[in-house]
Amino acid sequence: MVLAVVELVVILAVIAVFVVVGRALWTSLQNATPALPDRQRAELAAAISRARWVPGHDEVDGTTRVLVRRTYTGLDGRPAVLDERVMQTFPAHDPAWEARFTEAMSAARFRCDYLNAEEAQ
């Protein structure tokens, strides 16, 4: 009986050590990511405020997607996507692909013009 109690205490102690070490690691990882300096934070906020909607397309699993993306230029000079909305999808091997693509891209450009005009007001 005493041996069972000792084993239980040892097991609980090992679990407690794992919990304490895990929590310490978690806290240190959360604090390891430094916040942006004030100047870079202001530059990023300004870049995001100038975000524009642009048309785009891609192919995923044999399906062409025509979409609109709200993008801005990040601090590293590359475009960053804030929002992405799929406008239309159709099979990439559709015999009428070119006509469908042209029509969908036209609709996406129109939608981008509308969204950008709405946000400018």
Q: What is the per-residue pLDDT across 34-54, written as a single tens digit (0 to 9) for each?
A: 677 888 888 888 999 899 999
Specify the pTM: 0.66
**How many residues does the structure list for the chain?**
121
Q: How far apart are the first and last CA of the chain?
A: 78
Predicted confidence at residue 31, as pLDDT, reads: 66
d(CA 70, CA 85): 9
Residues of the chain falling short of pLDDT 50 = none
* Contact assessment for residue 71 and residue 82, using Cβ atoms and an 8 Å cutoff: yes
**Residues in CB range of 87: below 8 A, 6 or more apart:** 66, 67, 68, 104, 107, 108, 111
Predicted confidence at residue 33, as pLDDT, reads: 58
